[in-house]
Structure 1
Amino acid sequence: MKFSNPLLYAVCLSAVFHWPAAAQPTSDDKLEQVEQIRLHAGELPSVTLTPDLLYRLLAAELAASQGQYDLAGQTLLDLAIETSDPRLAKRAFQFAMIDRNLARALAAARQWALLAPKDPEAVASSLALAASSGQTAGLANALWQRIDKAEDKDRAVAQASAIIGKMPDKRLALEVLEKALHPSVMGMPSAHLALSDAAWAASDPDRALKEARKAQELDPDSGLAAQRILEYGLQADPELALKETREFVQTHPDSRDVQLLFVNRLVERREFDEALRQVAIMRRNAPEDFDLLYTEAEVNIRAAHYDQARKLLEEYIAVQNQRRLSIRDKASNAMSDASDARLLLVQIAERQNNLKEAIAQLELIDDPSLRFQAQVHKAVLQARMGSLDEARRSLDRLHPRDTHERSVLALTLASIYREAGRTDTAVEVLVKADKEIPDSTEIKYDLAMLYERQGRMEDFETLMRRVIELDPNNANAYNSLGYTYADQNRKLDEAQDLLERALDLDPDNPFILDSVGWYFYRTGDYEAAIEYLKRSLSQMDSIEVVAHLGEVLWVSGRRDEAMKVWSKAASTASDNEVLQETLKRLGVKLK
């Protein structure tokens, strides 16, 4: 049977295809697809729907429905080549992406672009995948051709920027973008914004700042340029970047995004007074912008101005309650916003060690999406107050809706018992939970760590290896097992492999950096150990890391430095077990 009418052919295909969950289109998407088929009917192939073709289409669909996206993708790619139908190539591309088979995805995207050269999605997908695979030959010219032919050149430049952003070599990506942006578009602010982002990704903050300033010269009112001048300038030239941002927000009082970013960066620099002055200016300029009450409260919390923060949050909650009573606002996010504010009040109460007030605020949270979280938190606070039985009853009263919430309850209860020194009871809780929810790597991980605390090293190793088997990308599992071997000064070759894998998965994790530093200490590479431990400490204020760093400095002969590190830590946490054990083992007495 031959279909010369492409629309009728498409209807037959739609009857065969049932999209997998990961790529299920909405009703609007389907209507748009049919409309596109109608509009481009003359461009689609005339295909004979033979029994063999129908069988292979059905086989591909069946494979996809069973999660065999590899087989489905290859079948559809073969069919796309045979029939010259771009829709089949697109489907092959989608299945390959779901399967994370980048090689096949690239082949399918190229076939899709070849069969539908006027389809911007097809061309962009092909270029992006080629870039992510490091295949850049001719990429700059291809990008320029798209920009040159585009009616909306700003959008074309943004797409080019997104495509080169997929390239693993960021310096090469910058070079490709430079070649793709011909002189005829360099008068557009968007071109310089794209170059600014590419330079930043290539670790060239000076160039990034330079390009952002060029964009602002072309468009003095550009908030996007102002944001980049602040962000990139804080690394290249902090004081000048702050000065330029002050001038911009003064002359552009409506630049809300820039002002909020400015406040955020001031808070990060602990320049709280200026941050609060900026929020005050914003509130004067926009008195009906009640979200600024929340912003000002957040800044006051960071500045430890708790009374003022509480006053602002109570005012903000009152506004949200008024919104909830408004007929016009029944479908608003007022309930959610009020609950978020109460979570900040909980945070304030905890910092002031007023746990009863924290619990009272948690009880007032009525947002259904936060209610479970709030009640779990309440149980944790009850346990911190010494009421373990009450905490257990609070958790028992909850009705978990799914496996995730069941896991959270078990992990929370185990954590409560662990913190109370009842490790055996915590183990019992998690052993029971592990039997009920055998696929939970979180439960297995925490149970393994409890085994390690009990000294059951064989059980710890077995369970942690099971976590890695179930979740090969679990950096914490590799780190925990690798650190344990390093700490016990055994299986150091395996510890190296485990920690390297952890570092590959999460290179900036301070806990992993600490473990790597401790591994280098065990292998006698003191300089490397000090480097990694200092990197860890720069991201995480941890007495344990301080204890490690001090020990490496002491053993390597830098004893004055070690004493300074330890003394500073002891001034705030003299009773820390790891610190005291380290000092005792090395026979060190702090002055």
Structure 2
Amino acid sequence: MRISAFVLPVVLVLVAAHETAWAAPPVPAPADSVETIRLRPGEPPAVSLTPELLYRILVAELAAQRGQYEDAAQELLGLARDTLDPRLGQRAFQMAMTGRNLTLALQSAREWAQLDPDNPEAVAASLALSASSGQTDGLARTLARRIDAADDKDQAIVQAVGIVSKMTDKRLALDVLDKALTGVVKTSSLAHLALADTAWSAGEPRRAVDEAYQAQALDPDSSDAAQRVLEYGLRVEPRQAIGDTYAYLAKHPDQRALQLLLVSRLTGQGQFDEALKLLDSMRKQTPEDFDLLYTESEVNARAGRYDAAKALLGEYITIQQQRRRATADGATSAQADVSDARLLLVQIAERQGDLKEAIRQLRSIDEPNLQFQARTHEAVLYGRQGDLAKARATLDAIKPADRRERTVVRLTLATIYRDAGRTDQAVEALKAADLEMPDTPEVKYELGMLLHQQGKTADFESLMRQVIVLDPDNANAYNSLGYTYVEENRRLPEARDLLERALELDPDNAYILDSVGWYLFRTRDYQGALEYLRRSYDQLQAADVAAHLGETLWMLKRRDEARRIWTEGRKADPDNDALKATLQRLGVQLP
């Protein structure tokens, strides 16, 4: 029987252990048994490579080759228990994870950790899977003991954070980490940073800011602490956060990354003059830093100062072209930098409604890696001009390099038809693509969403399930199907399972948080709904989310807050159907 490359390392390791563990040849074990002897602590046991052991390894290997990962993991787990060899426990864990059987993976990880308790990878895998499955009893104590015993406290803290981050309930994760770090928070800036990040994920911005300031107090020079003071502080007390960041930069003027982050956040808050003032100071400090020209053009573009932005980009392009000519072998980023500048000019032209100029800039891009992006975007712009024939001709002229590019071309064509109001043609384009590439989840997903818009719910559900089979980690498919059930107020237990999986895959996705919040609303858990919907609205001030959040506040008798949220949602999207329906159903008149 052939032994594949998969199984050879396992067999050879066992043979090597068997050959080196003895000073004299061992007494042969009976053919129907597996004999093991534990060596020094931390070393794997010596294993007699009997015919039975070899046979069972080969059985596991063949199962894995056939995609029967659960069978392979079960066999390897049994071998690990029989031989006391942690390497087989590790392999069982890997097979179970490949097969996405988390229960079996947890059993295997625990066996691996029990057989090799000094292996940090084994222990971390066991704890992480326990956390992800909600088994947190004793987790804080275990993590605290590991941190206390570790020579490298910082590394142990990072490992603890990685473990609790697997937990779906972020508030519970914060509680576990809080208890685990009790022994080190008084002296460790990193511990406070970990708590700050976890608190932020748990939707507790005030706690996050407080932890960031405590980290900074312990390590005043920490750029990581200063960055979190700015990021988290902007949510709680923006003026103080910005002022404290300026104070830090006055003492650390070389912290370019933090300066650029501050520029970005000032721009995001609409403080364009303040952002440009900071950039001017940076340019005086480092006049040869030509990338600041590009950043300054971005700020002006965001501010709607398009003439200033275009002038700066022209200057930037000239400088980069000079760099490119000055380097004979082309060993600079100048070509790519010029292309980035032209892409920004494309955006400006689109905002100004000058689609011809946008197309001209796209055609001027000569960076090879951007050609595909430029041509597909050119087709989209022809579609926006109403020239669907030219849009299709542009796409037809593209020679896709691989399946991914072929998929993008098909999806782009469907998008062009959809945006032109030709939904039927978009559906036909996607159906043709689905026939051509039947195992492409992206095509099935977009087709399903369009069919859902046409009221073909059964076809939508079928396609979403196909997407999940083809791509079990596609959070959007779980979310779309789960949200549809919630919105239609049916199959809520299944909707819960779908949304839990979506949240596990993408815990910070605003759309998924909205779906989970709306599910909790449907099940009358208004306080739980409020938590998730607030987290969603913090990221995505969309009218649909505002409709859900406002209605939840309304049910909690917080009517003034509800009206304020609805007003914000209406301002963002005055014609939103979901918001209109909510207000009409509740009989609410907004000023």
Do the two structures share a fold, i.e. TM-score over 0.5? yes
Contact 2:542 2:573 (C-alpha < 8 Å) held by counterparts: no
Name the CA shift for 1:349/1:76 in 2 (closer, same or farther; >3 Å): same
Name the CA shift for 1:183/1:492 in 2 (closer, same or farther; >3 Å): closer
Report the Cα distance in structure 2 between the residues aligned to 1:163 and 1:515, rounded to whole angstroms.
Answer: 26
Hey, what does 1:252 align to over in structure 2? 252
Report the Cα distance in structure 2 between the residues aligned to 1:391 and 1:212, rounded to whole angstroms.
Answer: 51
Name the CA shift for 1:56/1:297 in 2 (closer, same or farther; >3 Å): farther
Question: Which amino acid counterpart does residue 191 of structure 1 have in structure 2?
Answer: A
The 10-residue stretch of structure 1 (342-351 or 178-187) with the greater mean CA deviation from structure 2: 178-187
Task: Give the 3-state SS of the residue equivalent to 1:43 in structure 2.
Answer: coil
Hey, what does 1:397 align to over in structure 2? 397
Report the Cα distance in structure 2 between the residues aligned to 1:568 and 1:174, rounded to whole angstroms.
Answer: 31
The 10-residue stretch of structure 1 (53-62 or 572-581) with the greater mean CA deviation from structure 2: 572-581
Report the Cα distance in structure 1 between the residues aligned to 2:143 and 2:549, rounded to whole angstroms.
Answer: 50
Hey, what does 1:98 align to over in structure 2? 98
Hey, what does 1:416 align to over in structure 2? 416
Contact 2:380 2:391 (C-alpha < 8 Å) held by counterparts: yes
Question: Which amino acid counterpart does residue 189 of structure 2 have in structure 1?
Answer: P
Per-residue deviation, 1:411:
2.3
Per-residue deviation, 1:49:
0.8
Per-residue deviation, 1:443:
2.9
Hey, what does 2:490 align to over in structure 1? 493
Question: Which amino acid counterpart does residue 404 of structure 1 have in structure 2?
Answer: R
Hey, what does 1:147 align to over in structure 2? 147
Name the CA shift for 1:41/1:543 in 2 (closer, same or farther; >3 Å): closer
Question: Where does structure 2 lack aligned partners over 5 or more consecutive residues?
Answer: 1-7, 17-39, 552-560, 584-589
Q: How does 1:443-482 map to 2 (within 5 A)?
A: 443-448=443-448, 450-451=450-451
Question: Where does structure 1 lack aligned partners over 5 or more consecutive residues?
Answer: 1-7, 17-39, 552-560, 584-589
1:303 aligns with 2:303: yes
Contact 1:197 1:208 (C-alpha < 8 Å) held by counterparts: yes
Q: How does 1:199-348 map to 2 (within 5 A)?
A: 199-325=199-325, 330=330, 332-348=332-348
The 10-residue stretch of structure 1 (136-145 or 344-353) with the greater mean CA deviation from structure 2: 136-145
Report the Cα distance in structure 2 between the residues aligned to 1:486 and 1:74, rounded to whole angstroms.
Answer: 37
Hey, what does 2:37 align to over in structure 1? none
1:505 aligns with 2:502: yes
Deviations 1:149-170 (A, max 9, x none): 4333222232233333333444
Hey, what does 1:358 align to over in structure 2? 358
Per-residue deviation, 1:349:
0.9
The 10-residue stretch of structure 1 (530-539 or 47-56) with the greater mean CA deviation from structure 2: 530-539
Name the CA shift for 1:579/1:202 in 2 (closer, same or farther; >3 Å): closer
Hey, what does 1:191 align to over in structure 2? 191
Hey, what does 2:115 align to over in structure 1? 115
The TM-score, its normalising length taken from structure 1, stands at 0.75
Question: Which amino acid counterpart does residue 274 of structure 2 have in structure 1?
Answer: E
The 10-residue stretch of structure 1 (570-579 or 460-469) with the greater mean CA deviation from structure 2: 570-579
Hey, what does 2:132 align to over in structure 1? 132
Report the Cα distance in structure 2 between the residues aligned to 1:269 and 1:336, rounded to whole angstroms.
Answer: 29
Report the Cα distance in structure 1 between the residues aligned to 2:239 and 2:177, rounded to whole angstroms.
Answer: 30
Report the Cα distance in structure 1 between the residues aligned to 2:195 and 2:273, rounded to whole angstroms.
Answer: 34
Contact 2:481 2:498 (C-alpha < 8 Å) held by counterparts: no
Report the Cα distance in structure 1 between the residues aligned to 2:345 and 2:288, rounded to whole angstroms.
Answer: 23
Per-residue deviation, 1:107:
2.6
The 10-residue stretch of structure 1 (469-478 or 442-451) with the greater mean CA deviation from structure 2: 469-478
Report the Cα distance in structure 2 between the residues aligned to 1:44 and 1:503, rounded to whole angstroms.
Answer: 39
Contact 1:109 1:126 (C-alpha < 8 Å) held by counterparts: yes
Task: Give the 3-state SS of the residue equivalent to 2:336 in structure 1.
Answer: helix
Report the Cα distance in structure 1 between the residues aligned to 2:387 and 2:333, rounded to whole angstroms.
Answer: 35
The 10-residue stretch of structure 1 (311-320 or 444-453) with the greater mean CA deviation from structure 2: 444-453
Report the Cα distance in structure 2 between the residues aligned to 1:334 and 1:519, rounded to whole angstroms.
Answer: 50
Contact 1:510 1:535 (C-alpha < 8 Å) held by counterparts: yes
Report the Cα distance in structure 1 between the residues aligned to 2:563 and 2:188, rounded to whole angstroms.
Answer: 58
Per-residue deviation, 1:516:
10
Report the Cα distance in structure 2 between the residues aligned to 1:477 and 1:355, rounded to whole angstroms.
Answer: 34
Hey, what does 1:78 align to over in structure 2? 78
The 10-residue stretch of structure 1 (509-518 or 343-352) with the greater mean CA deviation from structure 2: 509-518
Name the CA shift for 1:449/1:46 in 2 (closer, same or farther; >3 Å): closer
Question: Which amino acid counterpart does residue 284 of structure 1 have in structure 2?
Answer: K
Contact 1:253 1:282 (C-alpha < 8 Å) held by counterparts: no
Per-residue deviation, 1:412:
1.9
Deviations 1:423-467 (A, max 9, x none): 444444333222111223433344455556667777667656655
The 10-residue stretch of structure 1 (350-359 or 135-144) with the greater mean CA deviation from structure 2: 135-144
Per-residue deviation, 1:475:
6.5
Per-residue deviation, 1:350:
0.6
Question: Which amino acid counterpart does residue 261 of structure 2 have in structure 1?
Answer: L
Per-residue deviation, 1:348:
0.8
Question: Which amino acid counterpart does residue 409 of structure 2 have in structure 1?
Answer: L
Report the Cα distance in structure 2 between the residues aligned to 1:538 and 1:547, rounded to whole angstroms.
Answer: 14
Per-residue deviation, 1:106:
2.5
Contact 1:323 1:329 (C-alpha < 8 Å) held by counterparts: no
Q: Percent identity?
A: 57
Name the CA shift for 1:71/1:281 in 2 (closer, same or farther; >3 Å): farther
Name the CA shift for 1:301/1:502 in 2 (closer, same or farther; >3 Å): farther
Per-residue deviation, 1:121:
2.4
Per-residue deviation, 1:381:
0.9
Report the Cα distance in structure 2 between the residues aligned to 1:162 and 1:447, rounded to whole angstroms.
Answer: 37
Hey, what does 1:59 align to over in structure 2? 59
Hey, what does 2:587 align to over in structure 1? none
Report the Cα distance in structure 2 between the residues aligned to 1:415 and 1:74, rounded to whole angstroms.
Answer: 46
Name the CA shift for 1:43/1:248 in 2 (closer, same or farther; >3 Å): same
Count of residues paired in the alignment = 554
Name the CA shift for 1:332/1:78 in 2 (closer, same or farther; >3 Å): farther
Per-residue deviation, 1:420:
3.5
Report the Cα distance in structure 1 between the residues aligned to 2:565 and 2:149, rounded to whole angstroms.
Answer: 62
Name the CA shift for 1:365/1:252 in 2 (closer, same or farther; >3 Å): same
Task: Give the 3-state SS of the residue equivalent to 2:490 in structure 1.
Answer: helix
Contact 2:542 2:572 (C-alpha < 8 Å) held by counterparts: no
Report the Cα distance in structure 2 between the residues aligned to 1:414 and 1:106, rounded to whole angstroms.
Answer: 43
Deviations 1:215-257 (A, max 9, x none): 2222211111111212222233332222111111122111122
Contact 2:184 2:191 (C-alpha < 8 Å) held by counterparts: no
Per-residue deviation, 1:45:
1.9
Report the Cα distance in structure 2 between the residues aligned to 1:214 and 1:388, rounded to whole angstroms.
Answer: 58
Contact 1:481 1:495 (C-alpha < 8 Å) held by counterparts: no
Contact 2:346 2:359 (C-alpha < 8 Å) held by counterparts: yes
Report the Cα distance in structure 2 between the residues aligned to 1:41 and 1:534, rounded to whole angstroms.
Answer: 51
Contact 2:511 2:536 (C-alpha < 8 Å) held by counterparts: yes
Contact 1:482 1:496 (C-alpha < 8 Å) held by counterparts: no
The 10-residue stretch of structure 1 (355-364 or 437-446) with the greater mean CA deviation from structure 2: 437-446
The TM-score, its normalising length taken from structure 2, stands at 0.75
Contact 1:383 1:391 (C-alpha < 8 Å) held by counterparts: yes
Report the Cα distance in structure 2 between the residues aligned to 1:519 and 1:184, rounded to whole angstroms.
Answer: 39
1:162 aligns with 2:162: yes
Contact 1:503 1:512 (C-alpha < 8 Å) held by counterparts: no
Per-residue deviation, 1:43:
2.2
Contact 1:128 1:164 (C-alpha < 8 Å) held by counterparts: yes
Contact 1:298 1:309 (C-alpha < 8 Å) held by counterparts: yes
The 10-residue stretch of structure 1 (353-362 or 165-174) with the greater mean CA deviation from structure 2: 165-174
Deviations 1:159-207 (A, max 9, x none): 2333333334444444443443455672232233233333333433333
Name the CA shift for 1:530/1:352 in 2 (closer, same or farther; >3 Å): farther
The 10-residue stretch of structure 1 (461-470 or 193-202) with the greater mean CA deviation from structure 2: 461-470
The 10-residue stretch of structure 1 (431-440 or 462-471) with the greater mean CA deviation from structure 2: 462-471
Report the Cα distance in structure 1 between the residues aligned to 2:461 and 2:351, rounded to whole angstroms.
Answer: 37
1:50 aligns with 2:47: no
Contact 1:479 1:499 (C-alpha < 8 Å) held by counterparts: no
Deviations 1:320-350 (A, max 9, x none): 4445456597555444333333221111111
Question: Which amino acid counterpart does residue 207 of structure 1 have in structure 2?
Answer: R
Deviations 1:536-565 (A, max 9, x none): 8887677899999999xxxxxxxxx99999
Name the CA shift for 1:171/1:572 in 2 (closer, same or farther; >3 Å): closer
